[in-house]
Amino acid sequence: MSGVPHPSVPVEIGLTAAIVAVRGDAPLILVARGARREDLASRRADIGAGVAALPSGPFDPVNHRTFEMGLRAWVAEQTGVPVGYVEQLYTFGDRGRHSRADSRDPHVVSIGYLALTRISGEDIATAPDAGFREWYRFFPWEDWRQGRPPLIDAAIMPGLRAFIARGGDSTHRRGLSRIERVRLLFGEDGDRFDEENVLDRYELLYEAGLVEESVRDGREPAPGFKERPPLGESMQADHRRILATAMGRLRAKMKYRPVIFELMPENFTLTALQTTVEAISGRHLHKQNFRRLVEASAVVEPTGEMSRATGGRPAALFRFRRDVLQERPAPGLRVGIRG
């Protein structure tokens, strides 16, 4: 110890929300206006448009009695969108997430939240600087509904092979080598793809210097990074990491809790329910298997009415059985995601 005191850095608490909705077969994330790319020292400063940001703001203990109340206040102010289901995700506080290591500016520790909201048809009322975007614009490698995304073999795997070559024997904090992580997360065997590992896949791409945020944060870019098309749209600060955490949480949670119904209208067809589950999971599901499993789970019940807005034969309408919450502790949709 030198005995020389280090100057302290003030810490602020931020609240950040990943707000999810579904329209048709498109999973949506609510974004607000972020910083300009040149303000983030981006390698592509000529773009000039604002980088997408999740709704966020500082916690004000004078005006916000709880973190969640503060979050809802910021979301309402920045987006004008009411949110229903809300749960805390994780606390994001690594040094460098908003500033350089030698910066004396306030360090922001952000509490991330997952929130769900319903939208109907094309009616999505938001504040002028906010709007919904498909979340696969930020994570195109996560959409397996049409099979293994071509982007993986065309752009991701060459970059990850170079990452392995730079240090194939180095070990991750979970005890896995780079080779093992690449094989586990992006292996060519599609049956091994675990849709819940959204954050692990993003962090691997970040460490490999394959995403814009990594280079923006001062990491070594992957060979040929400047010539390679961007891997999804970047987001302000570490908001894409927060979104990845929210996506993985929602994909996992819908299997053991009925959160998927927070995204559904009061009455729905089984086809609409399957489409929503597929949109969130990024997986195609076998129609008959899905229906048998949903009916066996007893989480829905028929309304006795029919929908004629299917474009074909009328379809039976169902609703969520809220009594199921009192009947058993884990009433989720235990569907075969790899079906």
Domain ranges of the chain: 11-138, 140-216, 260-327
pLDDT digits (tens, 9 = 90+) for 109-154: 889 999 999 887 555 667 777 889 999 999 999 999 999 999 999 9
Residue 333 is predicted with a pLDDT of 72
Q: Are strands 26-36 and 11-23 parallel, antiparallel or unpaired?
A: antiparallel
Q: How confident is the model at residue 193 (pLDDT cuts 50, 70, 90)?
A: confident
Do 168 and 177 touch, CB atoms closer than 8 A? yes
Distances (CA, A) of 287 to 158, 201, 232, 263, 264: 35, 28, 30, 20, 18
pLDDT digits (tens, 9 = 90+) for 20-30: 999 999 999 99
Q: From CA 64, how far away is CA 80, in angstroms rounded?
A: 18
Higher pLDDT, 191 or 276: 276
Tokens encoding 153 = 């073999």
- The highest-confidence range among 126-130, 140-144, 167-171, 291-295, by mean pLDDT, is 140-144
Fold for the domain defined by 260-327: Arc Repressor Mutant, subunit A (1.10.10)
Residues 274-313, buried b or exposed e (16+ Cβ, 10 A)?
A: bbbbbbbbbbebeeeebeebbeebebbeeeeeebeeeeee
Q: From CA 233, how far away is CA 211, in angstroms rounded?
A: 9
Tokens encoding 87 = 């749960």
Tokens encoding 50 = 């604002």
Length of the chain measured in residues? 339
Domains 11-138 and 260-327 alike in fold: no
Instruction: Note the pTM of the prediction, 2 decimals.
Output: 0.85
CATH number of 11-138: 3.90.79.10
